[in-house]
Structure 1
Amino acid sequence: MSLKQTITHNLLNILGWRTKRHIVVIESDDWGSIRMPSKKVYDKLLRAGIRVDKCHYCMNDSIASEDDISLLFEVLSSVKDKNDSPVVITANAVVANPDFKKIKESDFSAYFFKRIDEGMKEIKGCENVLSMWKQGQNEGYFRIQSHGREHVNISRWMYYLRNDFPETRLAFDYGVYGISTTITNEKRKSFLPAFDFENNQEESIANNIVADGLKNFENIFGFKSKSFIAPNYTWGKSLERTIANYGVKYIQGSQISRYRNAEGENNKCRLRYIGKRNDFGQIDLARNAFFEPSENQDKDWIDSCLSDIAIAFRYHHPAIISAHRVNFVGTINVHNRDKNLVLLKDLLIGIKKQWPDVEFMSSDQLGDLITKNNE
């Protein structure tokens, strides 16, 4: 970690809820979303001139297969904390993906989605994934929480599909919505921040979508999600009100997030810290450590993450680690999964060695602890 990064990490950890306990939370986004459907589709897009090889999400991120889940669970269950509890990942999941067939049949006049409990049954090697998620939750190492309904900005994506944007349409034809702005030749905003609205009408649509997502979440999993994280850490105040009405008490995210709060107004950056409350009584959970080896294979992620954790503990904060799903899937690139699972286990062993009294918690468990201590 550079001197500048060290100073920044220390400054961002000054504020927030404090505890003398060594608590580690691992938050993992994007479960359930289908970013790149298959290696075959990846190869076709690359041959068509879309530089998917320049984006680590396009290169590696796909639906997690039964093999992916099984291997991840082996790692999580192999390390126990001071209370003999296994490592738990907070798996932030969307509950739907675009229904490309129905959208095309409507001649792009309407948007349709397919719930994950239906869609996964249609994917070879993923037929039993949802039941595995639920098993992992019952056994204490996989805690499912809400990441919205789908990981796509519907209003923005549909606009580009209806107009003359050939790369967007080509990607659609292969069942892909998530071509990054860093690799497209089209001048456009990202399709990934689902709740990045640009006017009052889109704000209303976003609030309806997040409400529908939380209702579908409860229908699929049988419980309300206590915590929530917006795709790409972008949302507005009205969304906080909506999710509060559906039982969300804790908002995950980065220490600095993008906040949309008025028609035509650009996203504002907002400082967040663990324990901060908003106008609706919801508690912020802010990530202060990072394990994202898929992003940069040359970086020493174990040393970096342990340093992040040490800084958090120095200020008596829980360590909340960001570790996206892309790090643990091998559908497109099995080496990505296998290498990163080894790194994950080494990281967990390193945490246990350095802090033998560590306690592993999910995001909602940490939120409950903060709430209890503030009463």
Structure 2
Amino acid sequence: MSLKQTITHNLLNIPGWRTKRKIVVIESDDWGSIRMPSRDIYEKLLAEGYRVDLNKYERNDSIATEEDLDKLFDILSKYRDINGNHPIVTANCVVANPDFDKIKASNFQKYYYEPFTKTLKRYRNCEHSFELWEQGMYEGLFKPQFHGREHLNVARWMNFLQTDADTRHVFDYGLMGLFPKGDNMMNHFQVALDDCIYKGQSICDILIEGLDLFESLFKYRSKTFIAPCYTWNPLVEKSLFNHGIIGIQGMVYQYNPGEKCIRHWQGTRNRLGQIYTIRNCFFEPTICPNLDSVSDCLYRIKCAFRWRKPAIISSHRINFIGSIHEENRNKNLRKFDNLLSRIIHQWPDVEFMSSDQLIELMQ
């Protein structure tokens, strides 16, 4: 690690809220959202010339199967902190996906969505996944929080469905869009809260519908929110606040559509009193395959604790998914197991918390 990187890691942890407690939070985005439906469809798209192998998400990410969840929970349940609590994954989830049949029946003129629990029933080996979600919640291994109604910019996607042949073609495979052959396969439809309005329904309306659906599914209101692709306009924060969101997860920089990025520090507040938490550690072996993810994450945890900050680890769902490429899940779980073991060995007084628990402590 270079001197510049060392200085940067430390400087990012100096400002903001402090605690003497050694707190570790694991934040994992994208749960509930569709991506690549299956290995068969992945292979078909590749044969047709779509370079889905070049985008790590299209190559590896999908709805979590029962096996994915079982294996993840097996690792988490092996360990306990000083208070007897297991490591807990804050599962930032979207609560809906497009209803492909209804959209097609409308000749692509109207958008419809379905609860992600209905999506699970249509995916192979996912029919009982939600029961495992509930089991993980009961056992203190898995805590859903709100990531949006969909991980999708509805207005942009619907416009492309009506005008772009490639988007329409992959729609028939159950995908929320890919960009044309020869593109670098960046999926620009994922930026859900970019400033687009679909047939009079504002982004705030979409968020409020999503928050209500979240409560209907999980029987509690989410206390925290993480915007897809870390992109949101500060104007939506009031609607989030009015519907129970007191903490906003994110990175040091917030992408504000059409404006300059906004910098946040650990535990700072907006004018409504909502608290921003900042991810200062990363375990993303699928996204950064050439990095020693375990050693890098441990170093960042050490930096956070040095400056009396909670260690908030970013680790997207993609790292734990094996239905497209089984070795993606298996090798990453081995690394994750190693990471948790070394955290407890190096800091015996560590405390594992979910994001909403950290927000309540900060309050």
Of 326-335 and 127-136, the range deviating more from structure 2: 127-136
CA contact (8 A) 1:167 1:186 kept: no
Residues 1:272 and 2:264 aligned together: yes
CA contact (8 A) 1:178 1:192 kept: no
Q: Which residue does 1:185 correspond to in 2?
A: 183
Q: Which amino acid aligns with 1:242?
A: S
CA contact (8 A) 2:55 2:186 kept: no
SS in 1 for 2:188: coil
Q: Which residue does 2:162 correspond to in 1?
A: 162
Residues 1:284 and 2:276 aligned together: yes
Residues 1:350 and 2:347 aligned together: no
Please list the CA deviations of residues 286-336 of structure 1 after superposition, one character each: whole Å capped at 9, or x if unmatched.
Answer: 100000001132210001001111111111100000000000011101100
Q: Which residue does 1:263 correspond to in 2?
A: none
Q: RMSD of aligned C-alpha atoms?
A: 1.9
Q: Which amino acid aligns with 1:155?
A: A
CA contact (8 A) 1:65 1:129 kept: yes
SS in 2 for 1:273: coil
Structure 2 distance, partners of 1:361, 1:282, is: 19
CA distance 1:211–1:7, shift in 2 (3 Å): same
Please list the CA deviations of residues 84-134 of structure 1 after superposition, one character each: whole Å capped at 9, or x if unmatched.
Answer: 110000000111111111111111101111111222122221111111111
Q: Which residue does 1:42 correspond to in 2?
A: 42
Deviation, structure 1 residue 341: 0.4
CA contact (8 A) 2:147 2:225 kept: yes
Q: Which residue does 2:71 correspond to in 1?
A: 71
Q: Aligned ranges for residues 181-330 of structure 1 at < 5 Å? A: 185=183, 190-198=188-196, 205-260=202-257, 266-330=258-322
Q: Which residue does 1:172 correspond to in 2?
A: 171
- The percentage of aligned residue pairs carrying the same residue is 49
Q: Which amino acid aligns with 1:361?
A: M
Deviation, structure 1 residue 6: 2.0
SS in 2 for 1:191: helix
Q: TM-score, normalising length from structure 1? A: 0.93
Please list the CA deviations of residues 349-373 of structure 1 after superposition, one character each: whole Å capped at 9, or x if unmatched.
Answer: 11111111100000000000000xx
Structure 2 distance, partners of 1:38, 1:233, is: 27
Q: Which amino acid aligns with 1:175?
A: G
Number of residue equivalences: 363
Deviation, structure 1 residue 10: 1.8
Q: TM-score, normalising length from structure 2? A: 0.96
CA distance 1:334–1:349, shift in 2 (3 Å): same
CA distance 1:186–1:255, shift in 2 (3 Å): closer
- Structure 1's unaligned 5+ residue stretches are 261-265
Q: Aligned ranges for residues 51-130 of structure 1 at < 5 Å? A: 51-130=51-130
Please list the CA deviations of residues 40-77 of structure 1 after superposition, one character each: whole Å capped at 9, or x if unmatched.
Answer: 11111111111110111111100000010010000011
Structure 1 distance, partners of 2:187, 2:11, is: 31
SS in 2 for 1:268: coil
Of 233-242 and 86-95, the range deviating more from structure 2: 233-242
Q: Which amino acid aligns with 1:297?
A: P
CA contact (8 A) 1:27 1:92 kept: yes
Deviation, structure 1 residue 184: 5.8
Structure 2 distance, partners of 1:82, 1:187, is: 44
Q: Which residue does 2:10 correspond to in 1?
A: 10
